[in-house]
Amino acid sequence: MTTEKQVPVLTVDGPSGSGKGTVGQMLAQELGWHFLDSGALYRITALASQDQDIDITNEAQVALVAKGLEIKFIPQKDAPPSVSLAGQVVGDVLRTEQIAEMASQVAAMPKVRAALLLKQRAFAQLPGLVADGRDMGTNVFTDARLKIFLTASPEIRAQRRYKQLKEKGFDVNLARLLEEIQVRDARDQARTVAPLKPADDAHILDSSGLDAQEVVQKVLDLLKAN
């Protein structure tokens, strides 16, 4: 069995729209490592609860859903991995703002976070793991070889989300997106369990003026130096 200590882990945490998803996937591809999109686990918990008609404010029931999830990430070439739930591929519904909002609510529940903890750690497999989320460096992979905390201004993050969602064909409003991002950031930062904040030993990178390739290069340089 491999342990967290033997498997190199690179954590990329940060708020929504900081570019961590894109950067994390590019890093995993570059390094030939596995990739964990931990936000997808919270989104799937929200989606599966909705599908099972569970009251999203009922922590014990949502935690049971989280515990029972059978999730697989299926790697795709030059695209985000597709996600399957109990053998069924979950499409772009996972990326909607409605599911993001519900995911943020369930992510504030300690029992849900506890239910997903071991599932996340199980992704640490050789030759290595790039783990993307909010608390990868602070809670899930505290022994990670390198911890990155990616930031960008709320305006830039809203513009990136706008472009991503438009490309997927969703009807979106930039001002509303900015507002939603700020509300979600505030909730993610203020919650008592695993709030969004850099680990003490994280390297903080501001991606505002950088493209994804430039951020990837900075992280690879840090990985070489550490």
Question: By CB under 6 A, is residue 157 in contact with ligand DC?
Answer: no
Window contacting ligand DC (CB under 6 A); options: 35-43, 72-80, 85-93, 122-130:
35-43
Question: By CB under 6 A, is residue 134 in contact with ligand DC?
Answer: yes
Nearer to ligand DC, 61 or 96 (CB): 96
Question: By CB under 6 A, is residue 207 in contact with ligand DC?
Answer: no
* Amino acid at site 39: G
Minimum distance from residue 140 beta carbon to ligand DC (Å): 7
Site string for ligand DC, 63-92 (x = CB under 6 A): ------------------------------
Nearer to ligand DC, 134 or 147 (CB): 134
Please say whether the dihedral angle defined by the alpha carbons of residues 120, 160, 10 and 28, taken in this order, is positive or negative.
positive
* Amino acid at site 211: D
Distance, C-alpha 110 to centroid of its chain:
17
Nearer to ligand DC, 47 or 216 (CB): 47
Window contacting ligand DC (CB under 6 A); options: 59-67, 73-81, 98-106, 170-178:
98-106
Question: By CB under 6 A, is residue 16 in contact with ligand DC?
Answer: yes
The one among 104, 138, 151, 207 contacting ligand DC by CB under 6 A: 104
**Cα 37 to Cα 155: distance, rounded to the nearest angstrom:** 23
Tell me how many residues contact ligand DC (CB under 6 A).
14
The one among 133, 161, 181, 215 contacting ligand DC by CB under 6 A: 133
The one among 10, 12, 44, 107 contacting ligand DC by CB under 6 A: 107
Binding site for ligand DC (CB under 6 A): 16, 38-39, 42-43, 100, 103-104, 107, 133-135, 184, 188
